Amino acid sequence: MAVYVFMLGSDDTSVDLVAVDERQAGIVFRMCVRFIERSPELSCRVQVFKDRLVIPIRGAELTCLPASPAALEGRNPDLCICDEGGRIAPEVYEVVALASGKKPTSLVLLIGTPGPQPDNELAQFRQQASDCPDDRSQVYREFSAAGFEDHGTDCEHCWRLANPALDDFLYADALAALQPPKMSENHFRRTRLVQWVTGSGDPILPPDLWDGLSSGVGIPDGADVVLSFDGSYSGTDATVLLAATVSPTPHLDVLGVWQRPNYSETDWRVPILDVEQAIRDACERWNVVEIAADPYRWQRSLAVLSAEGIPVVEFPQTVSRMSAATAEFLTACRNGQLSHSGDALLREHIGNAVLSEDNRGGRLVKSSRSRHAGRIDAAVCAVMAYSRASWRSTHPKKRFRAASFA
């Protein structure tokens, strides 16, 4: 496409090649050079330089550019090809995109495989195509095995869906030779199956381990439980209410989730009264020993519930507190010291979470701060619930007898 537009465009045609860095852009540029050098009819018209091709008689130019916003300002391309769209810096893409539109037929072509971060430019195009299928300002095409994440990485059906070049210039024996654990499963799924797996690295728990802790049943009515509550106001986070049985091996179940249906509904707000009522209903159904909640932005609701006699315990999500609770939770999972109902959303949030570690310990965080980052609120609730439920099992509330006086 680059050579086609370069050779057959109008006078002063300009084609730009951009990638995560100049070396990466140079890969596409060298392909263009070889394409032209193999054709005597083309090579006699084109002057080849280190980082650009020129047709002097028409003033046409094909240029390999560094991935520096400052170097890309002021361009006026007929075609700009951005390679590795899953990893290109957002500012770089925005500069080249804003540089287009100065010619009647200007086009930006973004190509690549899913990046390790969910907020990459390619993912935003994909989200836009999903949210606004009638948007004619962009065309999105995907060759992937998305939807078959439950298939193994050695599934040849998925290989063919995601790789049109299979058995052409991509060889099946190479895919077989690179199977996990020779590389991380997430990396293989992103680059060779074009599956939009969440998380920037390996999951905090192997999916099989988490699934093995599922009993498939909820919590029986009347059981002693701890509720954990992680509240949001709007935006991309979810509000989650979760229960855990008071036991040395707590059993977890998600009771309620409130989240914005899709990113386009920017006016959506958490239905606070519905959340408060769900907490009251839980207290009617089970013997709630306490409700552990981060008070941030929910002080009034927690104060109202506390005034009604609901045993609210503040659980601020400070680094020190969450680090200790996270370590306990992950250890319990690996040792089979907890179980859960098999809730699909909790499984998703566990898979989205990334373990951030420093000298203060490790804690669950999103893979990025983007609005496209996978939610982890249910996973945070699970950590809080396990911490309080396991502690309550060894520290029961003291029962006092009323004093009598003669």
Question: 215 and 344 share a domain?
Answer: yes
Other CB atoms within 10 A of residue 406 CB: 2
Q: What is the pLDDT of residue 198?
A: 54
List phi, psi (to 5°) of 241. -120, 125
Same-domain check for residues 104 and 240: no
State the pLDDT at residue 241: 95
* Whether residue 289 is found in the same domain as residue 381: yes
Question: Amino acid identity, residue 287?
Answer: N
Boundary-marking domain end, from 96, 131, 166? 131
Average pLDDT over residues 25-40: 90
406 domain-assigned? no
Same domain, 220 and 71: no
Domain annotation covers residue 140:
no
The percentage of residues in the chain with a pLDDT greater than 90, rounded to a whole number, is 44
Q: What is the pLDDT of residue 99?
A: 82
Residues 91, 239 within the same domain: no
**pLDDT of 91 strictly over 70:** yes
Is the peptide bond prior to 181 cis by the omega test (within 30 degrees of 0)? yes
Cα–Cα distance list, 203 to 160, 185, 187, 210, 366 (Å): 26, 10, 12, 11, 12
Show the tokens assigned to 256: 């309620």
- Going by pLDDT thresholds of 50, 70 and 90, the confidence category of residue 399 is very low
Q: Give the DSSP per-residue string, 263-296.
A: TT-TT----HHHHHHHHHHHHHHSEEEEEEE--T
For residue 338, what is the domain's CATH number? 3.30.420.240
pLDDT of residue 259 exceeding 90, the answer is: no
- The answer to whether 208 and 336 are in contact (CB under 8 A) is no
Residues 6+ apart with CB under 8 A from 209: 333, 334
How far apart CA 286 and CA 297 sit, in angstroms, is: 26
Are 261 and 374 found together in one domain? yes
Is 81 among the domain residues? yes
Around 203, how many Cα atoms within 13 Å sit in the side-chain half-sphere? Answer: 19
- Say yes or no to pLDDT of 406 above 50: no
CB 270 within 8 A of CB 294: no
Mean pLDDT of 367-374: 65
Quote the pLDDT of residue 234. 62
Residue 314, domain extent:
207-394
Decide if 92 is inside a domain: yes
Asked which of 65, 99, 131 is the last residue of a domain, the reply is 131
- 142 in any annotated domain: no
Residue 334 lies in a domain: yes
Question: Does one domain contain both 321 and 219?
Answer: yes
Determine contact, residues 353/199, Cβ cutoff 8 Å. yes
Q: Kindly state whether residue 197 falls inside one of the protein's structural domains.
A: no
Q: Are residues 117 and 232 in the same domain?
A: no
Task: Count the Cβ atoms, other than its own, within 10 Å of residue 284.
Answer: 8
- The tally of domains found in the chain comes to 2
Which of the listed residues 116, 131, 146 is the one where a domain comes to its end? Answer: 131
